[in-house]
Amino acid sequence: MTYDRLVCANCASPVSEGRCPVCRAQRRTQQEGPLAGLTPAALIALLIALIAVAAVAHEVAV
């Protein structure tokens, strides 16, 4: 389920509209942080790249 389709239990409207204080708080939580906008696929790609860099660094150090 994507963030756009979440329905607020407080006001029964889409969270992305931010109609009530609970929705607005959730929207702020989703928008904060350096990795907040990344998709799961992008996070996996970032993790794979980090592992590759660590492996190369280990080979150079040995």
Tokens standing for 8?
């607020």
Cα distances (Å, whole numbers) of residue 49 to 24, 33, 43, 56: 34, 20, 10, 11
What does the pLDDT look like over 3-54, one tens digit per residue? 667 888 888 888 878 888 888 887 776 666 666 677 889 889 999 999 999 9
For residue 27, the model assigns a pLDDT of: 73
More confident residue, 59 or 38: 59
